[in-house]
Amino acid sequence: MSVSAVIGGVGSGGEISGATGVVRGRRTTPALVIPALLLVALFMLAPLALIVRYSFDLYDPVKLMLGVFSIDNYARAFADPFYQKVLGVTARIAGLSTVIVLLLAFPAAYCISRTRSEKRRSWLIILTVLPLLLGNAVRSAAWMVVMGTKGVANTVLIALGLTAQPIAILYTPTAVVIALVSVLLPFAIITMQSVLDAIPTNIEEAAMSLGQSPLRAVLSVVLPLSMPGLIAAAAICFALAMNAYATPVLIGGPSIQMMGPVVYEQIAKVQNWPFGSTLACMLMLTTVLLTIVSTRFLSRKYF
Amino acid sequence: MKRFSIGRFSYLAFVTLIFAFVIAPLLVIVWASFFSDRILTFPPSGYTLSWFVRAWDLQDFASGFATSLQVGACATLGSLLLGVPAALAIERFAFPGRETVRQLLLSPMYVPAIVAGAAVYIYFIQIEMMAGVQFAATFHGLVIAHTLVALPWTMRLVCASLVTANAASEEAARSLGANALQTFFLVTLPTIRPGMIAAAMFAFIASFSDLEKSLFLVGPGQTTLPISILNYLEWNLDSTIAAVATVQIAVIGAALLISDRFVNLGKAF
């Protein structure tokens, strides 16, 4: 209903002609931003507000919820050993993956941003972005092929004589970390690369001409300057890892429970909307806090 | 200038390994799509193209592909129609709360997909119970959710190209007597066209590869490509899935190469 009306409103575009000037145009500005704002308000902010409300409600098998206000769900989420474990496992896997991703993304992003040839640079970007665009389901599928009992990894290990029996890689926490790192790495490389691009090349040259080795020049001059990119990348990666769905389901299997699949299960399968909302809110809170902290850090220091 | 050193060599080797790690899964899955064995085994005993035929014959993949294509196209159009004017207002007009508006329009990117999916699902059902309008498990419901997924990408890329586009030429057009509409269509639009192509492409791909939001919103008998892939993988692991993934890799790779002709992707990020 509202969407076609909203689109129609923008499509007519005539509002722009009503402007008295490109810079002033006070009357036209609302006409330009309000449609997009309405979409976000109606279909993102309102739904989020609704699940925050639900998270304080109580489950009822017949009426779905009781319409009361209680913090029992939060108490349960923190007290129940099962959910404690889920939260712990999720945070540990997400944290470890983020650290590994940052260590790998920095050299790769640095390489892209310091590549002089335009063509090679485009290729490196395409190489990085291509897996990003395939979605998590396809990339997890690829890792299942690599890490399965008869997968590439085991075949290579047996051929090299490192193991006689195929070892179980799939359905272990290590497998989830490896797959998550590969899923998150392109995000981190792209984020850091854009920050590194803004740092002039002659900074390292200056450091080197003052007698530092290339490695020291990068570590002592470029790295501190690229901190905002690093922190932004870390926040994005940690949030994405905490919320991952396809990777834990496919690579982790039923024995490794992470938050994303558990939220889906509570809401879509068990139909316990209040408790599912509570878990969803906890996830969102972690993500939002991280985003705020990282953007604060960014803006205070650099803008 | 460049001299050979152990440090430089190990740096390049390390970076090569990282890029290899990024791309390796894709190479493996493309390779596996040609294996002739019924059960995925390495190395294969022979090669065949029959998995592509089988994948095409499986109803779930074919209809998932069609749905993803349609939803992606609608979401791209919607996000451009909403995002381009908004980006223009944010980059070219001074108004109170401008930064807040920018953050709000970019925020769908930061709300975790699984949380957003759950929230929209509950919200849709609530609307249905209260107003009798059905959104959950419908095509338009899916399109609305996907437009939200695509909007931040459109905003980001269009804003970026507006910043780099020279606002002075717009002012020049204005001072030479063009009205705002003429200025937009004759000066602004042509300069940001590469950015808009990139925006459309990323909006489409963001929608096309979305799994978490659609998971909650598809109806019975309805599926998108990522969901059909996920469902298949929960029970099977064979070359059919590799064939499906290979087709997707080919399509997206081609889209990237084509758009690299329009926008220098090396500079789009």
Distance CA A89, CA A256 (A): 8
B-chain residues within 8 Å CB-CB of A22? Answer: 92-93, 170-171, 174, 180, 183
- Give tens-digit pLDDT for A99-129: 999 999 999 998 988 888 888 888 888 888 8
What band does A299 get if pLDDT is binned at 50, 70 and 90? Answer: low
Cα–Cα distances (Å) from A239 to B81, B155, B224, in that order, read 29, 21, 24
Mean pLDDT of A273-294: 84
CA distances A127 to A130, A189, B129, B249, Å, are 6, 11, 47, 12
- Burial (CB < 10 A; 0-12, 13-18, 19+), residue A42, is middle
* B181: closest CA of chain A, how far (Å): 5
Q: Which residues of A touch B252 (CB under 8 A)?
A: 130, 133-134
CA distance A176 to A242: 12
Q: Do B44 and B28 touch, CB atoms closer than 8 A? A: no
B191 reaches A (C-beta below 8 A): no
Question: How confident is the model over A236-250, as a mean pLDDT?
Answer: 87
Contact list in A for residue B19 (CB cut-off 8 A) is 108, 124, 127-128
Total residues found in chain A within this entry:
303
- Pairing of the two strands A59-60 and A64-65: antiparallel
The Cα of A72 is separated from the nearest Cα of chain B by a number of Å equal to 20
Q: For A38-86, how does the pLDDT look when each residue is reduced to its tens digit (9 = 90+)?
A: 999 999 999 999 999 988 888 776 666 667 788 888 888 888 899 889 9
Q: What is the pLDDT, as a whole number, of residue A156?
A: 81
- Best to test chain B binding among A6, A7, A16 (most B CBs inside 10 Å): A16
DSSP string, B129-158: HHH----TTSHHHHHHHHHHHHHHHHHHHH
Establish, for the pair of chains A and B, how many residue pairs have beta carbons separated by less than 8 Å.
313
Decide if B118 and A150 are in contact by the 8 Å CB cutoff: no
Amino acid letter, B180:
A
Nearest Cβ partner for B148 among A25, A44, A144: A44
Between the CA of residue B10 and those of A101, A213, B7, B185, what are the distances in Å?
19, 14, 5, 52
In the structure, what pLDDT confidence band is assigned to residue A2 with cuts at 50, 70 and 90?
very low
Strands of chain B, DSSP E: none
pLDDT band of A178, cuts 50, 70, 90: very high
Out of A137, A152, A242, closest to residue B229 by CB: A137
Instruction: Please determine, for residue A15, whether its predicted confidence score (pLDDT) is greater than 50.
Output: no
Mean of per-residue pLDDT scores for chain A: 80
B 220-259 residues with CB below 8 A of A?
226-227, 229-230, 233-234, 237, 241-242, 245, 248-249, 252-253, 256-257
* Environment class of B177 (CB within 10 Å of its CB; exposed 0-12, middle 13-18, buried 19+): exposed
Chain A residue with CA closest to B147: the answer is A39
Q: What is the pLDDT of residues A82-105, one digit of tens each?
A: 988 998 899 899 999 999 999 999
Which residues of chain B does A6 touch, with a Cβ-Cβ cutoff of 8 Å? 82
Residue pair A288/A209 in contact by the 8 Å Cβ criterion: no
Q: Which residue has the tokens 């390994």?
A: B17
Chain B residue with minimum CA distance to A282: B115
Cα torsion at A166, A169, A170, A174 (round to 10°)? 180
Query: Over pLDDT 90: what percentage of chain A?
Result: 19
Q: Nearest chain B residue to A216 by CA: give it.
A: B7
A-chain residue closest to B40, CA distance: A150
CB atoms within 10 A of CB A21: 12
Best of A7, A15, A43 to mutate (most B CBs within 10 Å, chain B): A43
Q: Is residue B255 within a helix (H) or strand (E), and if so which, with residue range?
A: helix B239-262
How close is the nearest chain A Cα to the Cα of B52, in Å? 16
Q: What is the pTM of this model?
A: 0.81
- Per CB-CB distance under 8 Å, the chain B contacts of A39 are 82, 144, 147-148, 151
Q: What is the DSSP string of A79-123?
A: H-HHHHHHHHHHHHHHHHHHHHHHHHHHHHHHHHHT---HHHHHH
What pLDDT was estimated at residue B19?
Answer: 92
Identity of the residue in A14, A31, A43 whose CB atom sits nearest the CB atom of B144: A43
User: Is A289 near chain B, with CB under 8 Å?
Assistant: no
Which residues of chain B have a pLDDT value below 70?
Answer: 1-4, 262-269
For residue B2, the model assigns a pLDDT of 53
Contacts of B242 in chain A (CB under 8 A): 141, 145
